[in-house]
Structure 1
Amino acid sequence: MRDAATGDEPGNHPGNEPSRASTTDDRHETPTERMDRNWSELLQELRVTQTGSQVLTGFLLTVPFQQRFTELEPLEVDVYLLLVLLSVLSTGLLVAPVSLHRFMFRRHLKAETVTLGHRLARTGLAVLGLTIVGTVYFLFDVVVGRAAGAAAGGCVLAVLAVLWVVVPWLAARQAPVRRDDES
């Protein structure tokens, strides 16, 4: 079974295989090269999500300075404050792999860095998804009403669940399993 974070078989870590492994997808890379590639791919993904998370956080931080903010009901203020916390948490989780890399740099812990960075990124995506759903709920609640907020938030939750969980899961499930040759 492959490690979800690294794409490796259990036990394949830098230093375990001195020779280049031949894989079924025609890659000829050592475990260390694979970790370097996985880290680069993770960073590319984080560049996209960090920007969105930071823009959303910035938007939420400006809301209290709008004239209508004082007209919010107590529940709306609570939802807003929860959204700020979720947004800041998602930004923190999506930036955390960079800090992790700084602490792990030159310690020969690339596999551990990739694995933990992967987990932080997945958690950050989940929290970002909740923030997006909550923000849509909040905006519709304030502009149209609570029922519209619940409906819009529910629709966004369903769409994100399909796009971010179901489609990738189905694609991964249908893809052929590629294993390193044990030669």
Structure 2
Amino acid sequence: MSARPRRKRRTPLKADADPAENGRDETPEERADRRWQELVQEIRVVQTGVQILFGFLLTVAFTPHFQQLSQADRAIYTITVVLGSLATGALIGPVSLHRIVLGRRVKPQLVVWASRLTMVGIVLLLATLVAALFLILRVSTDNTVVPWIVAGVLWWYLLCWYALPLWVRIRHASGSSSAK
């Protein structure tokens, strides 16, 4: 029989915390693996949406109606496409990062950087969605109501994507550092 390799000592998530208190008994490597899997699932959701949106945005320039757009609307379109491209890059970035550093034993750092890229991608997706909505509504409705509608939708995104999660995070901040 071969001897099993010694397992690294498990460390609590919070300094001086009992593993039973924080609900996890995992090594830093196990924590990084879990956090990576959670991040990959999140990226799958947002990446699909941004890629579909970006694909549709790319086709707009090849439609007959595009030639009739004003210079201002073309500028908004260009900004929207660039934002969509940047969002796509940021959301695909963690995959490339993982591929390049695979096997280097830096998964905890990989998770931190991939998480940062994902948040940048989500912010860029927010900007892309708002710009796309602004352009579509400018072309299809009365311009006087467009800023109000877009501001309302932006408010809704900010509420759903940032305010609510931050409120939950603050309200349930029990001292656990696992959410960092």
1:85 to 82, 86, 95: 82
Q: Structure 1 pair 102/143, CA: closer, same or farther in 2 (3 Å)?
A: same
Equivalent residue, structure 2, for 1:6: none
Which secondary structure state, in structure 2, belongs to the residue aligned with residue 146 of structure 1? coil
Task: Give the TM-score normalised by the residue count of structure 2.
Answer: 0.87
Within the alignment, does 1:19 sit opposite 2:19 as a pair? no
- What RMSD, in angstroms, separates the aligned Cα atoms of the two structures? 1.5
Within the alignment, does 1:177 sit opposite 2:167 as a pair? no
Instruction: Give the length in aligned residue pairs.
Output: 164
Q: Which consecutive unaligned segments of at least 5 residues does structure 1 have?
A: 1-16
The Cα of 1:104 is off from its aligned counterpart by: 0.8
Which secondary structure state, in structure 2, belongs to the residue aligned with residue 106 of structure 1? coil
CA distance in 2, matches of 1:66, 1:108: 49
Equivalent residue, structure 2, for 1:9: none
Equivalent residue, structure 2, for 1:12: none
CA-to-aligned-CA distance 1:116-146 (integer Å, 9 cap, x gap)? 0000000000000010011111100011133
Contact 1:93 1:120 in 2 (8 A): yes
Give matches, 1:39-118, under 5 Å.
39-118=36-115
Equivalent residue, structure 2, for 1:158: 155
Q: Structure 1 pair 146/23, CA: closer, same or farther in 2 (3 Å)?
A: farther
Q: Which consecutive unaligned segments of at least 5 residues does structure 2 have?
A: 1-6, 12-18
Query: Partner amino acid for 1:36?
Result: D
CA distance in 2, matches of 1:66, 1:148: 26
Equivalent residue, structure 1, for 2:15: none
CA distance in 1, matches of 2:147, 2:20: 48
Point out 4+ residue stretches in structure 1 off by more than 6 angstroms: none
Comparing 160-169 and 141-150, the one that deviates more: 141-150
In percent, how many aligned pairs have the same letter?
Answer: 35
CA distance in 2, matches of 1:94, 1:108: 22
Q: Structure 1 pair 74/108, CA: closer, same or farther in 2 (3 Å)?
A: same
CA distance in 2, matches of 1:120, 1:151: 31
Equivalent residue, structure 1, for 2:127: 130
Which secondary structure state, in structure 1, belongs to the residue aligned with residue 40 of structure 2? helix
CA distance in 2, matches of 1:58, 1:152: 24
Which secondary structure state, in structure 1, belongs to the residue aligned with residue 90 of structure 2? helix
CA distance in 2, matches of 1:38, 1:20: 16
CA-to-aligned-CA distance 1:54-110 (integer Å, 9 cap, x gap)? 010011011112221111110000000000000011011001000000111000111
The Cα of 1:23 is off from its aligned counterpart by: 4.9
